[in-house]
Structure 1
Amino acid sequence: MNHAAANVLIVGVGGQGTLLASKILGLAAQLSGLDVKQSEVHGMAQRGGSVVTYVRFAAKVYSPLVEKGQADMILAFEKLEALRWANYLKIGGTLIVNEQEILPMPVITGEAKYPGQIFEKLARQDIRVIPVQAVRLAGEIGELRATNVILLGVAARLLGFKQEVWQQAIEEAVPAKALPVNLGAFTRGWNLQAV
């Protein structure tokens, strides 16, 4: 991806690790000598509410916010969140989607239905969609909480920073005891052949 300027949204629900992923991304951009601005918007609940983080990096960035139709990439930790935020992508932008469904409260209470055919709806838009079975991959390494770093690994391959820079960013962002599993999860995402 062009390092002149990049607009990335990381979207999911509370408790999925979107904030850690955005922290690692911001650190990787800083370690690469770029100016970084980030902004987080939390939904109604700490866990289960919608969460979006805007991450912008370039030689100089003045605002952390990304307008609709301006994002180069969206990293979606849940399918419905991917559909909800897809209109923020620019034409030809990349949407990386975790193939996980987390039912929002209105669906759990029966007030609404979880939308069907999300990938079909996304495919009709003029964007690149990369589905990832991140929960399955996290299960294979024995740590479901590493789903976020697997997805970040997939995105990292497209963002253009060196793998060593990402590893350094993870080392700075993650507690030492969680470092081996997070580095392994990142490598798993980085090495996915679908990218």
Structure 2
Amino acid sequence: MKGLDILVAGVGGQGTILASDILAEVGMLAGYDVKKSDVLGLAVRGGSVLSHVRWGEEVASPVISPGMANFLLGFEPLEALRVISYLSPESTVLVNTRAVPPVSVSSGNMDYPSLEEIERTLRADCRRFFSFDATTVAEKLGTARVANVVMLGAFATQVDIPQVIWEDAISARVPAKYRDLNLRAFHAGRELLKGGL
């Protein structure tokens, strides 16, 4: 694998930054030059969060150009749709189907599009599309807070990186008392898309 450009889109409180930190750690452990950039919306729970993670032989910029993302991990459907301009016809998209409506929707200023509409639009702009409820999978493990790592587990089936590297990266980036829970979340995510490569 020569290199990858990975976007992670979510809202504050979903662990988007932690997930992108784990992705950066995976890239480094796999021997890549890694650059990462986080773009935060409102500095409150529920604001947009977008992380750019780039793995390569030599990465000059931490920012992915529009139309150049290899992968999009959408932790929230509308947030995934917001960054559609980064997709190429060769992109792979993974979306958590659990909606977290933004303040503009909950205040009545805008309508939240249907999940079917969001999925149809995203599918039309990429090569491979996967959607699943990572939040429910995480809740079955005891907390929705590990849905981000469920998403990473699903993503791991799409790239040729040894499982032990993923496990080491997770162990390095999460507090020790949450390590086992996060590793279980990672394996649950892998099961969602088993045989993905």
Rounded to whole Å, the distance in 2 between the matches of 1:53 and 1:193 is 23
Query: What secondary structure is seen at the aligned counterpart in 1 of 2:100?
Result: coil
Q: Does 1:53 align with 2:29?
A: no
Rounded to whole Å, the distance in 2 between the matches of 1:159 and 1:25 is 12
Runs of 4+ in 1 over 3 A off after TM superposition: none
Aligned ranges 1:1-195 → 2 under 5 Å: 3-116=1-114, 117-193=117-193, 195=196
Instruction: Provide the identity percentage.
Output: 40
With 145-154 and 43-52 compared, the bigger mean Cα shift is at 43-52
TM-score, normalised relative to structure 2: 0.94
Aligned length: 193
* RMSD (Å) for aligned C-alpha atoms: 1.2
Residue type at the aligned position of 2:26: A
Rounded to whole Å, the distance in 2 between the matches of 1:47 and 1:127 is 32
The answer as to whether partners of 2:36 and 2:51 remain within 8 angstroms in 1 is yes
Query: What secondary structure is seen at the aligned counterpart in 1 of 2:157?
Result: helix
Rounded to whole Å, the distance in 1 between the matches of 2:128 and 2:38 is 24
Quote how far apart the aligned CAs of 1:120 are: 2.0
Rounded to whole Å, the distance in 2 between the matches of 1:48 and 1:88 is 22
Distance 1:126 1:53, change over 3 A: closer
Query: What secondary structure is seen at the aligned counterpart in 2 of 1:9?
Result: strand
Rounded to whole Å, the distance in 1 between the matches of 2:26 and 2:165 is 6
* Unmatched tracts of structure 1, length 5 or more: none
Query: What secondary structure is seen at the aligned counterpart in 2 of 1:40?
Result: strand
Residue type at the aligned position of 2:133: Q
| Deviation digits for residues 102-141 of structure 1 (CA, Å, limit 9, x no counterpart) | 1111111111111122112223334321002101111111
Query: What secondary structure is seen at the aligned counterpart in 2 of 1:27?
Result: helix
TM-score, normalised relative to structure 1: 0.95
The answer as to whether partners of 2:154 and 2:193 remain within 8 angstroms in 1 is no
Distance 1:175 1:126, change over 3 A: closer
